[in-house]
């Protein structure tokens, strides 16, 4: 019998194989022209195996959504005292921008940004994804920051908006023919500036001492 650790690694490899196969096919054919059965056939797995890991074709595009959302919320919830939510997620967001370079070139045009730029269906998925991010981040802010719920919601929308900008800009620049390195280089100072602005906005002022 295989150990739990080995089983988990095998499951992770299978999930990655399926997601990468889908990205490659989306890059080659376009999102609308790829079916779940196409992905299963190319990955050499049963169609049911694909559904075991991804509940729908849409999730093949947003395969890292849940992992990213959980990480953002963990960073907000566990941030040190005096640290704004924007500062808490800063390193993670900038690493996501740098990670554009690490995506294999044959998969890049099958990633969310490019697909959202050329497919109305995927554009809708990207908007829904960042809406879910905003709700989750708002909840984390409300649980850890003394602000009214509507302000926490507004702050969650602002922070999730950073990812919306990354997705949109990465897609636009890819359509315009920029390389992955150029996109990462161009986006870094833009996102850094946005995070700086959000940090100033979201930093809770220290209470003034009574005279």
In this structure, what token pair is assigned to residue 50? 């694909």
pLDDT the model gives residue 195: 97
pTM of the model: 0.88
Mean pLDDT of 181-185: 97
Classify the C-alpha dihedral 54-55-58-62 as positive or negative.
negative
> How many residues are present in the chain?
211
Q: pLDDT exceeding 70 applies to what percent of the chain? A: 94
| Confidence check: pLDDT of 107 > 60 | yes
pLDDT the model gives residue 208: 43
The neighbour count for residue 20, using CB atoms within 10 Å, is 17
In three-state secondary structure terms, 80 is: coil
| Confidence check: pLDDT of 39 > 60 | yes
| Confidence check: pLDDT of 2 > 60 | no
Mean of the per-residue pLDDT values for the chain? 92
> Which of the residue ranges 5-9, 38-42, 152-156, 197-201 would you say has the lowest mean pLDDT?
5-9
């Amino acid at each position: 019998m295989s150990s739990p650790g080995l089983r988990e690694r095998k499951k992770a490899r299978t999930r990655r194989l399926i997601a990468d196969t889908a990205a490659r096919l989306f890059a080659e054919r376009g999102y609308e022209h790829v079916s779940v059965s196409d992905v299963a056939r190319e990955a050499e797995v049963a169609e049911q195996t694909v559904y075991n890991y991804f509940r729908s074709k849409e999730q093949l595009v947003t395969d890292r959504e849940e992992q990213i959302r959980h990480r953002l919320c963990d960073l907000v919830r566990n941030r040190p005292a005096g640290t704004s939510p924007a500062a808490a997620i800063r390193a993670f967001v900038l690493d996501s921008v740098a990670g554009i370079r690490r995506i294999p070139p044959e998969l890049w045009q099958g990633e969310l940004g490019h697909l959202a730029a050329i497919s109305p269906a995927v554009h809708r998925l990207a908007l829904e994804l960042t809406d879910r991010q905003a709700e989750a981040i708002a909840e984390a802010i409300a649980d850890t920051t003394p602000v009214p719920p509507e302000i926490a919601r507004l702050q969650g929308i602002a922070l999730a908006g950073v990812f919306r900008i990354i997705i949109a800009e990465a897609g636009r620049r890819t359509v315009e023919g920029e390389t992955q390195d150029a996109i990462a280089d161009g986006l870094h100072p833009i996102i850094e500036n946005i995070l700086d602005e959000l940090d100033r906005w979201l930093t809770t002022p220290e209470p003034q001492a009574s005279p």
